[in-house]
Chains A and B, each alone.
Chain A
Amino acid sequence: MNYVASDLKVVGTRPVRPDGVDKVTGRAVFAADTRAAGMLWGKIKRSPHAHARILSIDTSKAAALPGVKAVVTAADFPDIPSEEAFVGEGPMNFRDLALNVMARSKALYEGHAIAAVAATTQEIADRALELIDVQYEVLPFVIDVEAAMAPDAPILHDDLFTAGVNPKAEKPSNIAKVVTFKKGDVEAGFKDAEVVVEGRYTTQPVHQAYIEPHACLASYQPDGQVSIHASSQGHFMVRAYTAKLLGMDMANIRVNPAEIGGGFGGKTLIYLEPVAVALSKKAGRPVKIQMTREEVFRGSGPTSGATVEVKIGAKKDGTIVAAQQVLKYQAGAFPGSPIGPGCMCGFAMYDLPNVDVVGYDVVSNRPKVAAYRAPGAPITSFAVESAIDDLARKLGMDPLTLREKNAAKNGTKTHYGPVHQNIGFTAVLDAVKAHPHWKTPVKDGQGRGLAVGFWFNIGGESTATVHVNEDGSVTVATGSPDIGGSRASMGMMVAEVLGIDVARVKATVADTASIGFTHLTGGSRVTFATGMAATQAAEKVVDDLKKRAAATWEIPVEAVEWKDGKAYPAGSNAGAFEPLDLAALALKAARTGGPIVAEVSVNAQGAGAGFGAHICDVSVDKETGHVTIERYTAVQDVGRAIHPSYVEGQIQGGAAQGIGWALNEEYIYNAKGQMENPGFLDYRVPVASDVPMIEAVLVEVPNPRHPFGVRGVGEVPIVPPMAAIGNAIKSATGVRMPDLPMSPPKVRAALDAAG
């Protein structure tokens, strides 16, 4: 059924989330909060070198230390062959993942896991790590993306040959892949252009910086069964990867979804679980591993840093006739940067006749990148949206008008193939135009920037179960970890369909042995895909309830209707019966067919793409180069907001992360290829005093492919901020900042250079 045009009672309201009290009282159990009888503490030894051959590992002294119960190295894991798979948020090679979890012959970055111990206390485990003797042959390393592409660069993988080139590569290279997209004739387009802008932009790798470090508790039983408590964006993902890396049957692994303290894409792959299981197997006791913050920075994935060249040509009236991009994305130590989306998202907002995009996926001696909110899109958009701003200036045109003129609409064919359908970009731009922030003149001494952003959003496989309990209350179970309020939205959609008070519905997250397969929480898919499964399960329950009422009244089921949580005889011919509510039907369940339960699994298609536009006012301290965000408004097409507060929260949080990416966050490496700022003091994420209130404006263009019109919302908001801020700085100072972060020293230097 489709409820887009229905009069809704629950959807669109703001109830307290079902797991709220647990989380404000300290009761919620995250992975690091779990314990087990006889539990040991696991710790990981990491490479101090950016690039080194591992000559030998002697663990005998560590193993002999009293209190140490197990030591493992790569020799304790199967050496698995290369195999591409799709388990996480993007393609992943199982062999690369295995080698990232535990280095075999080479350490490929500072922080790469080399060995692990389990001991009775954390202190003993730490001492044991120091007793592990690793002999290295230190190799030349390369950190920067363009340096890694140079012909004489140190090579990370002898068996890595550039894919996507013709003729086939003959020598190993750090360029894992070349991606190209072409539409029309870009050369002809530029010949036609009357105004051309060009720029070269760089972005730094930034960490997802979830406040909860990775953690898990694993217990291996003598019969080969394993139980894992993990904080992750997908417990089915944890099961699949752990099984593969250890050569186990999935049925022997049960993963319990602990609460997750932020992920933003960074918990869509694993680091610890196979290690904890291997240690537990060896020690015969449960093992908990939790990373320190330093390990999170040194050993887990940021997103790519990149170099992006962009060139755009337009007619004098603002019509863009040609657009070109060359993107070089760092993948970290193993292939797999988000170069694909990088090549697609930059120009996806526009209707362009001639486009040419080339992207490079490049390995270097840094931690393997992990997904981070709209992976790849913020980087490419920083470049494109800065260039569009330059174009508007060169044309003497309002930046909003220029975007309106070239905006993608329904039916626009993208340069990467698909045709945009059911998109709300025009509505977003209309909302910007109508917004008081846009209409208010810029304050003296400040500057204003505008930038737009796009993300595909995904659907995919999800399972939900709706149980009507004996008293008429309802339990909804899904396989989607609740990363930011999804229990609330699941409960609300089910309550809406059943026509009952949302307080009567409780949503939970079920473990891998208790519910059907569910793809991880990523790609902004949960409210869309898992919400679709939950909605359909609730509809099945309604059908079942109608049948039971029909049987009770001995009338045909077609003569029963379900309204406001009750079965009614439909029309006067059906007979005069008192309506039966959920509680009454639940009470009689045993006599009308048994438990009232429905489980629905979907492979949801038609996730509506999302578009956003951010307006930002800044002031720039000319003495220090410090940029203050004075006012920030984020407009986004959200399809339909199930719980508007959590939708706004996604937008505000994404914008704040973008502000950090724009102004402060970066990895600082020393001459040895070691990270110098692996802590929150020196890797500075925004704090409360760094940001203003962030106004989230929800535009609702319903997605017809979802029963309530939902489209994903979590990723779009991190796409526009960097360019919005850069454009505001340009407007305030006349200076274009092409390199992130736009930190005080850089802004100050740019202002000085400009005189």
Chain B
Amino acid sequence: MAKQHVTAVINGEETEFLCETQQTMLDVLRDVIGLTGSKEGCASGDCGACSVIVDGRLVCSCLMLGVEAEGKTITTIEGVADGETLHPVQQKFLEHAALQCGFCTPGLIVAAKALLDENPNPTETEARYWLAGNLCRCTGYDKVIRAVMDAAAVMRGEAAR
């Protein structure tokens, strides 16, 4: 079957790509465009390692088709930092040692950014439930949650960067 031509804004850049109709957005990102920061942990929407933000909404890219990206604005982990400047969530993940193997980290950071974009002042419980779709097998989530809460405080201007 002929490939589909898709145009989307990915990490701030207008991007064109060709994909098979059945190809997932995750496969497009990783295998077609070469953005391998989004990870495949399950391909069934259960681990969150493939998390991206599509038109402001947090999405598992393994559950989205590449063709559905047409006309959409997508942020992947590669687009979270502002050039050389890390996003507060990224910075706090480093400071709190909120990663061990780092495989879940891109998805967790994208999901945490989406949380804080929507709710700048989450409670710990809200953060835990929001991130419940992102599995991390290494950390036990303690330092992850601390990093997210600390990043939220920074973004609200209540704590030092």
Chain A positions near chain B (C-beta within 8 angstroms):
14, 16-17, 19-30, 32-33, 122-123, 208-213, 259-264, 290, 292-293, 483-485, 643, 645-646, 648-650, 652-657, 679-681, 685-691, 693-694, 696
Contact = CB atoms under 8 A, between A and B. Distances in A.
B44 A293 contact: yes
Contacts of B47: 211, 293, 680
Contact of A645 (B46, B96, B101, B140): B96
Contacts of A17: 94, 97
B138 A32 contact: no
A680 B141 contact: no
Listed residue (A16, A262, A645, A654) with the most chain B CB atoms within 10 angstroms of its CB: A262
A687 B136 CA distance: 7
Given A211-B137, A648-B142, A649-B139, 9 more contacts: A22-B102, A26-B35, A26-B78, A32-B40, A210-B101, A293-B43, A645-B96, A689-B129, A689-B131
Closest 4 CB pairs of A and B: A26-B37, A261-B103, A656-B140, A23-B102
B33 interface: no
A680 B46 contact: yes
B158 interface: no
A28 B135 contact: no
A29 B34 CA distance: 12
A24 B90 contact: yes
Contacts of B27: 122
Listed residue (B47, B97, B127, B134) with the most chain A CB atoms within 10 angstroms of its CB: B97
B97 A649 contact: yes
8 contacts: A26-B37, A211-B41, A211-B104, A260-B101, A261-B41, A261-B101, A649-B138, A687-B135
Given A211-B41, A685-B137, A24 B93 contact: yes
B97 A645 contact: yes
Q: How large is the interface on B (under 10, 10 to 19, 20 to 34, 35 or more residues)?
A: 35 or more
Nearest to A209: B137
A52 to B, nearest CB: 28
Contacts of A262: 100-101, 103, 137-138
B99 A20 contact: yes
A208 B86 CA distance: 32
Contacts of B105: 23-24
A293 B46 CA distance: 10
A25 B81 contact: yes
Interface string B90-130: 10011111011111111001000000000000000101110
A264 B103 CA distance: 14
Contact of B144 (A122, A212, A688): A688
A292 B43 contact: yes
A638 to B, nearest CB: 15
A645 B96 CA distance: 7
Given A21-B86, A293-B41, A679 B99 contact: no
A411 B18 CA distance: 69
Contacts of A680: 41-42, 44, 46-47, 135
A23 B147 CA distance: 15
Contacts of B101: 210-212, 259-263, 483-484
Contact of B141 (A27, A28, A32, A688): A688
Contacts of B137: 208-211, 262, 264, 653, 657, 685
A688 B145 contact: yes
B43 A26 contact: no
A239 B42 CA distance: 27
B42 A259 contact: no
A25 B78 contact: yes
A36 to B, nearest CB: 13
Contacts of B127: 688
